[in-house]
Amino acid sequence: MTIIKTEIPFSKLEMLNLLQAAVDQAFNAVLITTPGENGRGHKIIYCNPAFCKMTGYSSQELFGQSPGLLQGPLTDKELLKKLRITLLEDKPFLGSALNYRKDGTIYLVEWNISAVRDATGEIQAYVSVQQDITARAEAEHRQALLARALDATEDAVLISDDKAQILFVNQAFEHQTGYSSSEVLGKTPKFLQSGTHTPTFYADLHLALAQGESYQSTFTNKHKDGHLYYAAQTITPIKDENGSIAHFVSVSKDVSDLVMRTHELKKQAEHDALTGLLNRRVGERKLKLCCKTAQSKKQAYALILIDIDNFKKINDQFGHDEGDRVLRQCAKLINSSVRVGDIVTRWGGEEFLIVLPGCPLDAARDLAERIRKVVASQNDPIVGKITLSLGVGTVRLSENYTELLKRTDEALYQAKRSGRNKVVIAEPVL
């Protein structure tokens, strides 16, 4: 084993001068006092420029003074007592207290005090390295106040870094989502995704955020227990001093009740109260849209117009309650017979209209016949056999929907006039 000897390039005097310069130029305030007796009677024998700057006193004003010069009414007396006891126990002391500058202003100082001993172990002085932590304490106070304010708000707040990793969530977020902060910190918010949004939805979200813009929408999110809820959510990018996105802040409110009420009101406005089918106003709108789409794509579509046979007799003989029940039963059977995408409307009274997008005549006739047979096969325990008359029409050439509807209506009445419980195909356009 080779021992490498190194020469110290400084003499003892040079080292002392270097140490003096280091302390004089130190960023932290340094104070040296006499040891005093029984933890009291300390006198200042040195302070560096940083200490003078912190307190507002010159070194000449401080030399020979007690550090108590810097204390005042708001200085914690219990802390001073603890300081004295700690020094008497021959232990270093770390603490913070309110001190007073020369001009009377208050600052919060952090002390780190330790004993300086001679070769025999006798305490010769105490050195205190101090730092004004007022700004830091105020920042921490503001941060704590902000955290309390965020926890007090009823809106869910989430803060993430620029990689969308969660740094903070408030109590409202925990309540809204069912997840505790410990479960989500460090994760991305993907665990809230319900799978009901389209890829375009998220593409628009990511594009807006990448451009430094806020994104606002109603999200369908998944609660921890699995149920879906609606959140009116605003996500805002937060930029740093260089203009780069550093964080994202999301604020959301659970609007599930409002969305459900809106859906219910929309359903009530669009659906027939008795049968649950679309009402005529909405049915007409969808028929117009089907016609427009068929014309633009040069596709066929068909209509089936249905009437319950002898419905007036059912009302007269069994009463309107039974008549309503028959209407609901027929509506259910018709609606369960159509294809996905077909549009079933209560057209008025005991009439129903089915709009069949992209459906040729043969398929429309087969569907009408199947509906007729399904209803005719039901033997109602109260009113007996129920039958339907049906007219079927398919669009021709440049025929508009009103013309097709008229031809289909004529086919329906031909079915009724020729004995009912029949399917009649509308006459073609000449």
Catalytic residues: 350
Q: Which amino acid is at 152?
A: A
Q: How far are the Cα atoms of 21, 107, 201 from residue 51, in angstroms, in the given order?
A: 15, 13, 59
Helix/strand/coil for 167: strand
* Amino acid sitting at position 389: S
Q: How many residues does the chain have?
A: 430
- Across the beta sheet with 106-117, what order do the strands follow? 44-47, 29-33, 123-132, 106-117, 93-100
* Residue at token pair 């007690």: 66
Burial of 139 (0-12, 13-18, 19+ CB in 10 A): exposed
Question: Exposed, middle or buried, 118 (CB in 10 Å: 0-12/13-18/19+)?
Answer: exposed
Nearest Cα residue to 302 out of 405, 388, 373? 405
Rama region for 121: left / alpha / beta (φ>0; ψ in -120 to 50; rest):
left
Side-chain half-sphere CA neighbours of 203 within 13 A: 3
Contact 54/29 with Cβ under 8 angstroms?
yes
Q: Give Cα 101 distance to the centre of its chain.
A: 48
Nearest Cα neighbor of 47 from 108, 127, 132 is 127
Taking CB atoms within 8 Å and a gap of at least 24, the contacts of 381-385 are: 382/318, 382/322, 383/314, 383/317, 383/318, 383/322, 383/326
